Amino acid sequence: MTDSEQLHPYVEWIIREARRPVVTDPDARDRVIEAIRVEPLPRRTAVVRRIFAPRVFRLSPVTGALLAAGLVGIGVIAGAVSFNRDGRVAVEQPSVAAKPLPVSDTIVKFVFFAPRAQQVSLVGDFNDWDIAKTPMNRSARGGLWSVTVPLSAGRHVYAFVVDGSSWSADPSAPFAPDDGFGHANSVKLVGRGSSL
Amino acid sequence: MSDDAADVQRVLAGDVDAYTALVDRYYDRCARFAVRMLGNRDDAEDALQATFLRAYRALDRYQERDRFSAWLYRILVNQCRSVAARRAHRERVFVREEALLLNAPDRTPVWSGEDEEFVQRVLTELDPLLREAFLLKYIEELSYEEMSALTGVGVSALKMRVKRACDRLRERWERIKHD
């Protein structure tokens, strides 16, 4: 078949009709924008990635030697300041930054759109699928519901429960395999120390 | 630099409003594809919201050498497939659990005109893979190479799907004519 193949007049008529613009809910676009505004800026991840991206530095032998000498100097100074004024050796305190993050310290924000809901709960393997444990908060402008929860690193399966009974997967997340109970669930992958 | 690329740069520089310009530029076109593909407004809006959200979250991974529209369409096509799969799953659940039928989402047709309703019904009768290829080719007017980049399906397979979709439509016409 070629692009220029003659189409049947009936098929041409279907194409012509289907090319007409569709009428959608005029508020739907606004809801998209509203959902975007509660998202973190995408540039943050770009900046972080750029900072931590592996890079190759090429140094001339002279620059390399100077850099090595500088590093040795820093080590000597650091050794010197580890003594107090009275000559006692200071007890080394582990810095806060050096501590590994507790695995449950990753904060994740869940957002769900349900304009007609009276209440929405987040359920998942992290709260024993208990509807009462993690109620979501409705945004000031209406249909958007959100909640932040601390999660451990790893793979989490979750869903939203609307008005106590209607189970819904997250339309913006990967779909989890059937849980065997006829419910649609979603998957969230959480990296250690990541947030939102 | 294209308008799209400039808007992407503005968003990455912290200007969220620039994303509104991108949404405005592509919303209607994406809505047409989603509605034609999924056949009802509720599912189409789910797919659209997920598409624009995912694109926003992944914006720093967008490469300027790609056309933004093609990149966005790739996300849209995948979201429509996900929503359709989820709907199929949901409908299977509804069959098993009669009580849930009471909460079934509104399936109000998008169009008011008879021709438009009829065309949507005809499209919905097509197998989803044939419908997707037909819509990308003749409604979105993409080249087979662009379609291949979007769907990950080879050009010859896509040509075959489009041909089969046209054949199915023509066969339908023959049946109508003889009824």
Residue B6 forms contact with A (CB below 8 Å): no
Asked whether residue B41 carries a pLDDT value surpassing 60, the answer given is yes
Closest alpha carbon to A159 in B90, B77, B40, B92? B90
Instruction: Using the structure block, give the residue that is written with the tokens 């972080």.
Output: A48
Spatial contact of A126 and A147, defined as CB atoms under 8 Å apart: no
Find the CB nearest A113 among B49, B90, B119: B49
In-domain check, residue A42: no
Coil/strand/helix, residue B167? helix
pLDDT at A22: 87
Q: Which of A99-103, B27-31, B79-83, B99-103 has the lowest mean pLDDT?
A: B99-103
CB contact under 8 A, B110 and A182: no
Coil/strand/helix, residue A109? strand
Asked whether residue A159 carries a pLDDT value surpassing 70, the answer given is yes
In-domain check, residue A37: no
CA-to-CA separations, A37 to A132, A141, B13, B56, in angstroms, rounded = 28, 12, 15, 10
Chain A neighbors of B172, CB-CB under 8 A: 10
Asked whether residue A97 carries a pLDDT value surpassing 60, the answer given is no
Chain B neighbors of A19, CB-CB under 8 A: 32, 139
Top-confidence residue, A52 or B26: B26
Chain A neighbors of B36, CB-CB under 8 A: 18, 22
Chain A neighbors of B13, CB-CB under 8 A: 43
pLDDT at A43: 61
In-domain check, residue A162: yes
Q: What residue type is A105 in one-letter code?
A: D
Top-confidence residue, B65 or B15: B15
How far apart CA A176 and CA A180 sit, in angstroms, is 11
Question: Structure tokens of A153?
Answer: 């690193």
What are the tens digits of pLDDT across the range B81-129?
A: 988 887 776 655 444 443 333 333 444 434 445 677 788 889 999 999 9
Asked whether residue B179 carries a pLDDT value surpassing 50, the answer given is yes
Expressed as residue numbers, the domain containing A115 is 106-190
Q: Is this complex scored with an ipTM above 0.90?
A: no
- Burial (CB count <10 Å: 0-12, 13-18, 19+), residue B53: buried
Residue A175 forms contact with B (CB below 8 Å): yes
Top-confidence residue, A195 or B91: B91
Q: What percent of chain B has pLDDT over 90?
A: 50
Domains located in chain B, CATH noted:
1-94 (1.10.1740.10), 126-179 (1.10.10.10)
Average pLDDT over residues A95-99: 36
Top-confidence residue, A2 or B170: B170
pLDDT at B76: 94
In-domain check, residue A149: yes
Dihedral (Cα; B55, B35, B124, B99), 10-degree rounding: 90
CA-to-CA separations, A179 to A124, A158, A176, A187, B54, in angstroms, rounded = 12, 11, 8, 12, 25
CB contact under 8 A, A45 and B160: no
How far apart CA A26 and CA A140 sit, in angstroms, is 19
Neighbouring residues of A46: CB distance < 8 A, sequence distance ≥ 6: B12, B60
Average pLDDT over residues A63-83: 56
Look at chain A and report how many structural domains it folds into.
1
A129: domain CATH number is 2.60.40.10
Residue A171 forms contact with B (CB below 8 Å): yes
Top-confidence residue, A3 or A148: A148
pLDDT at A120: 92
What are the tens digits of pLDDT across the range A1-49?
A: 445 568 888 899 999 999 998 888 888 888 889 888 888 887 644 444 4
Q: What percent of chain A has pLDDT over 90?
A: 7
How far apart CA B3 and CA B7 sit, in angstroms, is 6
Residues 80-109 of B with CB under 8 A from A: 82-83, 85-86, 89-90, 93, 96-97, 100, 103
How far apart CA B12 and CA B14 sit, in angstroms, is 5
